[in-house]
Amino acid sequence: MSTTLIHGSRRIGSGFVIVGVATITLLVMLCLGHFVGWEPTWRSLGITPLSPHFFDMHGVMQQAACASKGYDPYSTNACYPIVPIDIPPIWLWFGHIGIDGSDATWLSALEIAATFVVLVALFKGRSIFFGAIASMAMLSPSVMMGVERGNVDLSILALVAGAALIFQETKARRFCLTVVVTELAVVLKLFPVFCVALAARFSARRIIFALAIAILSLVYLALIANYLPIIRHDAPTTFMLSYGYKVLFLGLDHLRDEAGLSPLGLGDTWVPLTLVAITLILAAATAALLSWRQRSLVCTIANSAAGTAFCFGSGIYVGTFLLGSNFIYRLMFLLLCLPQLQDWGSGTFEDEDRTKVIGRGLIALILATLWLNGDPNGHSTFLLIPQLVDWLMFFALTTILVFNFLNSAASASKRSAAQDTN
């Protein structure tokens, strides 16, 4: 009997909790959708829904169909006058195989399901408590906004998380497959190039990975160079439901406008970039000081799927923050940081006390980032506190990446010196 209980308890872990919470949430949403409709259902979760359903996926596929008919999808056109696309032209291939906006529902369902499966694979095998934390993060307004929109970033998250699961630097085939999957994500949406942050855990293979992604991405950017200014122009830069180094200043102008004051217009001046530079310098200095004083393994990124996912997730957050403005659904990549932070918070590393505090603190910070940035009235309201939290997250993740790079590079140098001596 006791053996049965032990085996039964082992089955109830993080994966069981996440799947259970997701199933219950889906059933509740389907029931609510049936009785009260799509819009009230999403508003009950703190999401401002758009029409038509799965708006982002619908727009991409409809513009792809329009492009196959000779319309320009990167500008307002008579075929689909709602919004131009701001993603690479590879997505337009869907139009040539007969897919259009009417396919948005099943395509969105497919990418949502695929992303969920990959995330469960990444999160499984952990505690029930971690399952509850991961579920809370996945159901946050920031992540669920991407689900409601059917945004293609979900597909990118599935690819990047899948690449983290595949990566093993000691196995050539898995290493090469990781490069292929990551570069596919770059081809589809560009910003996964920030997965080069894997080099924060300094090793020959990880440096090769970063160089491979950087070189292949530069070649790809050269091939679509004509589209890059257009994509940049079409990508919204706004204070509404957004994060990035410009958003704070755009939002302050909005608050002044609501108060009847003239805007300061700081968003396009040297002020935001100066604040970015100061933050990066402080992060680098903090990392260097910690590395010099501690000489320890505090908050060491593991050579595991959790560590790889952390590098990818933190790299994408830091990199996209530097782009200036991103809609909050892109915060979903912070989910990739959770397994590593849970390992730190559970005290499975050296310097347990400090690592525990930092790990648990960063989990709380991620939850705050995911939940505070979402706002049911986000299309008209700017909130200051979430922007300050976003800046703190930018500083914290940059510090950890730089700290690990310095420590691992120093360790690699010592090993090389020892080998030369022998």
Tens of pLDDT along the chain (422 residues)? 333 333 444 567 899 999 999 999 999 999 999 899 899 999 888 888 999 999 999 999 999 999 999 999 999 899 999 989 999 999 999 999 999 999 999 999 999 999 999 999 999 999 999 999 999 999 999 999 999 999 999 999 999 999 999 999 889 999 999 999 999 999 999 999 999 999 998 888 999 999 999 999 999 999 999 999 999 988 888 888 899 999 999 988 888 888 888 888 888 899 999 999 999 999 999 988 887 765 567 888 999 999 999 999 999 999 999 999 999 999 999 999 999 999 998 865 555 678 888 999 999 999 999 999 876 554 556 678 899 999 999 999 999 999 999 888 776 666 665 565 65
Write down the pLDDT at residue 384.
83
Largest CA distance in the chain: 75
The pLDDT value recorded for residue 4 is 37
Q: What is the pLDDT of residue 6?
A: 37
Is pTM, for the whole model, over 0.85? yes
Residue 363 covered by a domain: yes
Q: Please report whether residue 273 resides in a domain.
A: yes
Give a yes or no: residue 204 inside a domain. Answer: yes
Q: What is the pLDDT of residue 5?
A: 37
Question: Considering the domain boundaries, does residue 167 fall inside one?
Answer: yes
Query: Measured between alpha carbons, how far is 82 from 76 in angstroms, rounded to an integer?
Result: 7
In a domain, 177, yes or no: yes
Is 1 within a domain?
A: no
In-domain check, residue 7: no
Q: 31 lies in which domain range?
A: 12-421
Number of domains in the chain: 1
- Gap between the terminal Cα atoms of the chain: 57
Task: Specify if 105 maps to a domain.
Answer: yes
